[in-house]
Amino acid sequence: MQEPFDIELEDVTYSVFPEEEGIYTIFKDGKEYMKIQKDDESQWLKLDEETELPLFREDAEVNFIGQQIAKHL
């Protein structure tokens, strides 16, 4: 399993914790913020907080974090 790492966007630091099967738990300001997973080469999906099923909607913040994760890998 990969080690956690940080991503910065302007003044915000996101802590990324890789999990199983390409799922990443994102922390913001020391609190769990969201879980994301890769959909395709350019799209990432936020997972529903309760069901952990993918939410199929465009989200610039999720895609930015995902692109930074892909660069880190």
Mean pLDDT score, 28-46: 93
Distance, first Cα to last Cα, the chain? 12
State the DSSP string of 3-62: PPEEEEETTEEEEEEE-GGGEEEEEETTEEEEEEEE-SSS-EEEEPTTT--EE-S--HHH
Q: Is 65 helix (H, G, I), strand (E, B) or coil?
A: helix
Residue 40 to residue 55: CA distance in whole angstroms: 14
Tens of pLDDT, residues 15-24:
999 998 889 9
Query: How sure is the predictor about 61, in pLDDT bands with cuts at 50, 70 and 90?
Result: very high
Please, what is the average pLDDT of the chain? 93
Which single residue is written with the structure tokens 């802590």?
A: 15
